[in-house]
Structure formats: structure tokens, C-alpha cells
Amino acid sequence: MVSVKNTKGSFNHGNMSDLFGDGIFAVDGDKWKQQRKIASYDFTTRALRDFSGDVFKRNAAKLAGVVSSHAASNQSMDFQGFLMRATMDSIFTIAFGQDLNTLDGSGEGRRFAAAFDDASEFTMLRYLNPFWKLSRLLNVGAEAMLKERIKVVDGFVYKLIRDRSDELSNTKAHDTDSRQDILTRFIQATTSDSGTVDYKYLRDIILNIVIAGKDTTAGSLAWFLYMMCKHPEVQEKICHEAMEATNAGEAASIDEFSQSLTDEALNKMHYLHAALTETLRLYPAVPLDNKQCFSDDVLPNGFNVSKGDIVFYIPYAMGRMESLWGKDAESFRPERWLDENGVFQQESPFKFTAFQAGPRICLGKDFAYRQMKIFAAVLLRFFVLKLRDEKEIISYRTMITLSVDQGLHLTAMAR
């Protein structure tokens, strides 16, 4: 089974390489092992945990401020769009050590973020278009647009990498210890003995981390808020749990409340964790995934697969199967994840596949939950959310990750 589950293969690398390059989501072998080893260490360090937590709290409070201004004027807003910007700001700061400010800014940061989103969508379309290589050769259609978007992305990212590399080479080692961003760590880990820096490899590594930390989290939070609007009683339970866990008090400001979301407080929020997990069961961030077989093998059900075969699995469908989740598989019920004492209970990652399983299980799972819980707790503590139009039919946008087509338009009322 290892041959099927651990490999992306040439099929995926070919489809994804223009955007993902030789990053962790598109490669196998030594490059994958090296990146996973460094990333697995980084994601478990207390320094990165504290640094990322501060970034999440700051951007959650900033987002709540934006929502507050819309709530005061009784305006609806596209929450998915704002979540995309807020999570982009967060992961960009953590990855590059620099604020992008797409949430309240404009200009180059916004252009980068827009190009990044488009490139993700055009990359996904390659899986649906068997003639994409011809379109790339002729430089027409989506392939021409993908090429232009990647130029914008690369120009922005390469400048940041060169500037940071120059800064590190001209700075004494002890002066860089205060830097907690992932780019600095990877530059230090991958620079050759001769001092040579592989800018292309660093670009691929960091962009993969940005993709993983932005689109998946923003999309999942958007579906979570959609579920909150469909189940207002869950909103109230989460608000009450957040107040109780933080002990921040009713008079606490948005900034004060966000700062009270310590790891200890977040760990007490079992119902919020269950509601987020239930959302991911029904709306997994990556709804369709595949692996390529590196050798002949036999699946658990006895089905034979051959070397080179592509094996797809569908987390979106798996999350709705009665054989796995019972008769109420299509119902949103956070309580299914809690024991009789209200404590969250894990399921096997081979059953709940939102974060994959085995050697390629998501390294940033805890990282993602922390960001989602902070954003969700802040928003639901200060606002009651409702769909702009209760009759509106929500559909999906074709991207690598599962997102709401045309945005998630909600109204917010201050509590």
C-alpha cells in the first residue's frame, strides 16, 4: 500500500509544477523528505507556535474591526473574501516575516493575492482539461492567463527571498535569532556550504506553505460560517463556550478578548473544535485528491492496481457516506464528535480524511485548527451572523481547494 499512498507521481507534478514547482505538495523522494523534515520541526517549535498565535490574534481582531464597521451600517459583506485576505495576511507574515496588509491595504499586496488565487484556479482546471498542454504551447485561454499570473507571483516572491537572503548573509548569526518566520529557517537550512542560495527551490517551498495555510483555512472558515448561519443555535453555544473558556468578561474589547485566546483557553473549547471538524467532514478543504502508484499493488478491497495508475479518493463523498457516519451522515451535528462528558474524540484519519493520512498527513493540522478556532471565537463572540438571502443556493468554485462560488454574503449584528 505504500506505493499508492505516499507518492504524487509525474501526473500530479506535471499538472502542478508551474505553480507548486518542487514544493512539498508536488514532489516525492529526497526533496519531499528534506522539506517535510524541516517543516515538521518548525511546526512543533514553541517559538513558531507563539509567533503564529500572536499573528492569528492580531488579524482576527483586525477582521472583527472590519466586520464591526459593516455591522454598524447594516451592510452585508463577502465574508469569504475577507477571510481570504485575513488568512493570506497571517500565513504571509508567518512564512515571510513581512506584513502583506491585504485586509486593510491595497496595491502590490492585493495584486499578489489576486494573482495567487487565479493561479490556483487555473492549475486546478488542468485536471479537467486533457488538452491543457496544447493550450500552454499555443499560449491561449486559461494557460495564457496562468502564465501571466505566475509572473506576478514570482516577481513579488523572488524579491522578498533575495532581500531576506542578502539580509541574512550580511547579518551576524545571533542577530537573526529573533526572526521566527519560515523563510529564514529554510534559507539557513538549505544554503550550501559555499553560500549559494537556490532561489527557485526556496520559492517553491514557501509558496507551497502559503497555499496550504491560506486557501484551505479561509475556505474551511467560510463553510463553517455558512453552517453557523444554517444552525444559529450552534452560534450561541460557541459564543457561550468562548466566554466561559477565556473568562474575559462581557466588557472585554475585541483586542482584549483576542489576546485572552491562549492555548489553554482554546484547548477548553471542545464544542468549537467539534463544530469545525464537523464542517470539515462535510466540506473538506481538499474535496478530491489522488496518488500515483509507483509499483503494482492490491487495495484493501482486493482491487488490483498497476504501476503508473492514478488512484483517486474523494473526502467530500467519504464525509457523507452512511456506511462511515451513520444514517445522519449528511446532517451537521457537532455532537457526534463529543463523548458523554463533552470532550472531543478523534476519529481515524483514514475515516476522516480532511487532513490526509499516513506519511503525507498534514503537518499543519494543529496550526490550522488554532487559526480557525481563534478567528471563529472572535467573530462569534462579537457578532450574530445571518445569510444575506436565506433562499440563496450556495455552490462551489472550481479550485484546488473547496470554496464558495461568488462569495459568502452575510450580515452581522453586534452582540
Q: Which residues are documented as binding site for heme?
A: 362
The packing angle between helices 365-382 and 232-246, to 10°, is: 100
In the block, cell 505516499 appears at 6
Binding residues: 362
d(CA 27, CA 360): 11
Whose cell is 443555535? That residue is 233
Q: What are phi and psi of 206, to 5 degrees?
A: -70, -40
What φ, ψ does residue 127 adopt, rounded to 5°? -70, -15
Phi, psi of 118 (to 5 degrees): -65, -40
φ/ψ (deg, to 5) at 413: -120, 130
Distance CA 279, CA 224 (A): 6
- The CA distances from residue 244 to 188, 255, 269, 407, in Å, are 43, 17, 9, 32
Closest by CA to 21, choosing from 183, 211, 285, is 211
Of 226, 242, 160, 171, the closest CA to residue 403 belongs to 226
